[in-house]
Homo-oligomer: A and B are copies of this chain.
Amino acid sequence: MNLKFQKAQLVNALSIVMKAVSTKTSSVILESILISASNNRVVLDATDTELSIQTEVDAVIVKAGGVVLNAKLFSEIVRKFDSTESLIELEVDNDFKTTIRCEQAVFNIMGIDPVEFIPMPKIDRDAFISLSQFSLKEVIRQTEFSTAISDINRMMGGELIDVKNNVAKFVTLDGHRMSIRNIELMGEYEDQKCVVPIKSLQEVMRIIDSDTQKNVNIYFSKDHILFEFDRTLVLSRILDGEFFRIESMLSNDYDTKVNVSRLKLQSAIEQSMILIRENEHKPMILDIENGMLKLSVNSSLGFMDAKVNIEKSGSDLKIAFNPKFLVDALKVIDDDFVNIYFTNAKSPCFIRDDKNTYTYLILPVNFIG
């Protein structure tokens, strides 16, 4: 094989597939990438068996072929070449001895026969939805935090994608809180449902653009989900089994409704968190009255309270939370003002908008007061 790359393009393609390269593995293949050139296409492939990524890169194909190279080493060599203008030449002989040349520098490293590589599984491409890269990036960012890696319940480490009546619902929950984002799809799609490991979605989020004009196609198959965008394919295993029954946890009833500046509330809660040492589990207490929300923390480090102006309807309420759970939700919401709905001190609160694009459920904690 003999290929010539432009450095910036190769670096970009490598940074995409590197996201599926295992860092902690004893398998030589799982810490490698496959470079293959055939039919006038050069493709990079990487897999950690859970997640597989394939991307196409522009190159001059002097001679077609393929090689498997250590991903970290090859990527470091390419990145360290000076010029972004000069071509990087990759030459592989029949024993997979690989020569990488750029300007006055030459590297010789050992490659592996491509037949050793684990190919990306082929899946049916019947059932799919399409949405903008921007939307997908946003919904993952706005839900990824309420997950938990747990051996007891693997579903907490996944995100439900539930397509129904051309609305895609993205849901995560970790036992203390739940995050829901709904996206109206442009087009007519069949109903679909699957649970994707959050790590896979996070890698997709890191690769895709914040571009509203470019789309992602998402294909659903029995054991896998496939994301197709630009010149890249990301294939992930999905989690076996049923997701939680989330409908039973939701409620539109409330006794107290608060409308508050998102940033002012977030800032006051972040102040209160200073006094809470990790593992101390001290609650933050909210005192909700007409026009004013008072939050306070009393811990081994000291005592604090802060007042935030609100608009309130319904009953006064005293309720306690783990402040981090409230802040995590407030941080990812885009609205300047949010509505928070409460029932009583033992029931979850809901942060949600009127258009039903997001719902954050947060369980309160016990307190003495």
User: Which chain A residues have a beta carbon within 8 Å of chain B's beta carbons?
Assistant: 70, 73, 76-77, 80-82, 104-110, 267-268, 270-271, 274-275, 301-308
Contact = CB atoms under 8 A, between A and B. Distances in A.
Given A82-B267, A267-B82, A306 B105 contact: yes
B109 A308 contact: no
Given A271-B81, A274-B77, A106 B306 contact: yes
Contact of A271 (B105, B302, B305, B308): B105
A306 B104 contact: yes
Nearest to A98: B302
Contacts of A104: 268, 306-308
A304 to B, nearest CB: 4
Contacts of A109: 301-302
Contact of A73 (B105, B108, B274, B306): B274
Contact of A274 (B80, B110, B271, B303): B80
B107 A270 contact: no
Contacts of A107: 271, 274-275, 302-304
A271 B106 contact: no
Nearest to A307: B104
Given A110-B302, A274-B80, A302-B110, A268 B73 contact: no
A126 to B, nearest CB: 45
A268 B305 CA distance: 58
25 contacts: A70-B301, A73-B301, A76-B274, A77-B271, A77-B274, A80-B270, A80-B274, A82-B267, A104-B268, A104-B307, A104-B308, A105-B268, A105-B304, A105-B306, A105-B307, A106-B304, A106-B305, A107-B271, A107-B274, A107-B302, A107-B304, A108-B302, A109-B301, A109-B302, A110-B302
A76 B273 CA distance: 10
Nearest to A297: B107
Nearest to A75: B274
A170 to B, nearest CB: 31
A53 to B, nearest CB: 23
Contacts of A308: 104
Contacts of A76: 274
A203 B77 CA distance: 35
Contacts of A303: 107-108
Contact of A80 (B81, B106, B271): B271
Contacts of A304: 105-108
Contacts of A307: 104-105
Contacts of A302: 73, 107-110
A171 to B, nearest CB: 32
Contacts of A82: 267
A268 B83 CA distance: 12
A270 B76 CA distance: 10
Given A73-B302, A107-B304, 9 more contacts: A73-B274, A80-B267, A80-B270, A106-B304, A107-B274, A107-B275, A108-B304, A109-B301, A109-B302
Contacts of A274: 73, 76-77, 80, 107
